[in-house]
Amino acid sequence: PAVPRRRFVGLAAGAGVVGLGGTGVGLLFRSADPVVTGGGPAHSSGARQARSVAGLRGPAEPAPGGALRRYTLTARRATVRLASGREIDAWTYDGRLPGPALTATEGDLIEVTLRNSDIQTGVTAHWHGYDVPCGEDGVPDLTQRPVEPGEEFVYRFRADQVGTYWYHTHEASDPAVRKGLYGTLVVTPREGSGARRLDLTLPVHTFAGTVAVGDRDGRTTHTAAPGTEVRLRLVNTDSDPHRLALTGTRFRLAAVDGRDLEQPQQVRDVALRLAAGGRHDLEFVMPDTAVALVLDDDPDTGVLLRPDDAEDEPAIEDTSDWPELDLLRYGTPTRAPFDPDAADRHFTLVLDRALAMVDGRPAYAQTVDGRGHPSIPDLLVAEGDVVRFTVVNRSLETHPWHLHGHPVLVLSRDGRRASGSPLWTDTFDVRPGEVWEVAFRADNPGMWMNHCHNLPHAEQGMMLRVVYD
């Protein structure tokens, strides 16, 4: 394989020791074999995993009135030229950066045949934020074997979740996603609006220091007639957060991580912080002057929308001192569909890092409760449970915490209760020292990854599983 599989052979003694799994084996990372468990009563056996996921596949038919949306994605290496002329040695779906933009209408059946041409680590397609049946989730050695060169795997799931999502490989996710194995997935409601609309899906991705929005680095320009309803769907496919600022107009933050917010207010001159893996949908009506979406306060990176095709360069405002929109206070509060205070399970996850022996040398591992994957015990839940998580960050780095298969409801951040629109997310940034309380309903049986979406951190052990009992 192009990327050597690292073996964690033992653990350093001293202050920052990584706890051992129940059997006391060393940590083994990115194994191509069935998942290695650390033993102990909290773990289920490999044989049982294979059996339980096999039955959890998607339906073969669309919902009544829906269409079949068929896509083929071929993973392969390619040299891709960005808009600036810069060439990227990439790992791609279909030779493109980003991979093909997948779209569907509510009720359709999405069928994606994933082929691997020459990605030696193997590939999968994971539908980030999309609550697919577990067997379609694209997690190597948990829900399927990785697709090796010359192999294929067919995913099927209903487009029953409207909104902005994305897909990426889950095998050797760092470096594979960073090198380009990602694309967007957007599901639109069946009833479209008759209005003049401009709907842009904009993945943000960094290639060796250069930020690209969609398939362009630098700045992209679009024309939109005044009065056009514009929706910008920003997708952070990087491992670090991005700051977004929209200049020249008031706007609404219409959706977070694919889910609509309850009556979002108009705001202006505020920035948004988009967590790694997260999505923000912004809506506004095009004014008769230019609007710019500025990334990371760099006026030369992002999207410029002009009301006409005049030649003159509009001046772009400095956004660097704009405050951040407080999502916990934004939108109109309404009741959540379950009572998080009556949780059936409550887990606390302490995120930190510690020294471990990696390839015979001491190196830092990213840990949960002092252990690294796969020595972290599974969290067991039962179908129907309301599950509460307290996520504590004791480290000096931000950890974008991500759960597969379920949206989580944010209850509080650092003791401050959420008081705006119910905030559903699948990836939330836990900054150094912060404590987040979230809850979800266990309504999607199977085995689900729960991990840091800073993908190097995930590869360094910050990854565990939520398992239905």
- List residues near ligand C2O by CB under 6 A: 126, 128, 168, 170, 277, 402, 404, 449, 451, 453
What does 402 bind: Cu ion, ligand C2O, none (CB cut-off 5 to 8 Å by kind)?
A: ligand C2O
List the single partner that 179 binds among Cu ion, ligand C2O, none, CB under 5 to 8 Å by kind: none
Contact (CB, 8 A) for 369 and 393: no
The residues near 310 (Cβ < 8 Å, ≥ 6 apart) are: none
Q: How far is the CB of 50 from ligand C2O (least distance, A)?
A: 20
CB of 105 or CB of 450, closer to ligand C2O: 450
CB of 168 to ligand C2O, least distance (A): 6
Cβ distance to ligand C2O smaller for residue 231 or 457: 457
Q: Hey, how many other C-beta atoms are within 10 angstroms of the C-beta on 92?
A: 26
Q: Which residue is nearest to ligand C2O (CB)?
A: 128
- For the bound state, the minimum distance from the C-beta of residue 174 to ligand C2O, rounded and expressed in Å, comes to 11
CB of 301 to ligand C2O, least distance (A): 23
Nearer to ligand C2O, 99 or 277 (CB): 277
- Of 219 and 453, which has the nearer Cβ to ligand C2O? 453
Least gap, CB of 454 to Cu ion (angstroms): 4
**Cα within 13 Å of Cα(285), Cβ side:** 5
Give the one entry of ligand C2O, Cu ion, none that residue 452 binds, where binding means its C-beta sits below a cut-off of 5 to 8 angstroms depending on kind. Cu ion
Q: Which does 156 bind (CB under 5 to 8 A by kind): Cu ion, ligand C2O, none?
A: none
- With CB under 5 to 8 Å by kind, the binding choice for 115 among Cu ion, ligand C2O, none is none
Q: Which does 76 bind (CB under 5 to 8 A by kind): ligand C2O, Cu ion, none?
A: none
Binding site for Cu ion (CB under 5 A): 399, 452, 454, 457
Q: Which is nearer to Cu ion, 30 or 399 (CB)?
A: 399
Q: How far apart are CB 452 and Cu ion at their closest, in Å?
A: 3
Three-state secondary structure of the chain = CCCCCCECCECCCCCCECCCCCCCCCCECCCCCCCCCCCCCCCCCHHHHHHHHHCCCCCCCCCCCCCEEEEEEEEEEEEEECCCCCEEEEEEECCECCCCCEEEECCCEEEEEEEECCCCCCECCEEECCCCCHHHCCCECCCECCECCCCEEEEEEECCCCEEEEEECCCCHHHHCCCCCEEEEEEECCCCCCCCEEEEEEEEEEECCEEEECCEECEEEEECCCCCEEEEEEEECCCCCEEEEEECCCEEEEEECCEECCCCCCECCCEEEECCCCEEEEEEECCCCCEEEEECCEEEEEEEEECCCCCCCCCCCCCCCCCECCHHHCCCCCCCCCCHHHCCEEEEEEEEEEEEEECCEEEEEEEECCECCCCCCCEEECCCCEEEEEEEECCCCCEEEEECCCCEEEEEECCEECCCCCCEECEEEECCCCEEEEEEECCCCCEEEEEECCHHHHHCCCEEEEEEC
> Which of residues 271 and 368 has its CB atom nearest to ligand C2O in the complex?
368
Nearer to Cu ion, 204 or 452 (CB): 452
Yes or no: say if 106 and 187 are a contact pair by the CB < 8 Å rule: yes
- 178 vs 259, beta carbon nearer Cu ion: 178
From Cu ion, ligand C2O, none, interface partner of 126 (C-beta below 5 to 8 A by class): ligand C2O
CB of 114 to ligand C2O, least distance (A): 16
CB of 98 to ligand C2O, least distance (A): 14
Nearer to Cu ion (CB atom), residue 37 or residue 454: 454
Q: Which does 403 bind (CB under 5 to 8 A by kind): ligand C2O, Cu ion, none?
A: none
What is the smallest separation between the CB atom of 460 and ligand C2O, expressed in angstroms? Answer: 14
- 277 touches which of Cu ion, ligand C2O, none (CB within 5 to 8 A by kind)? ligand C2O
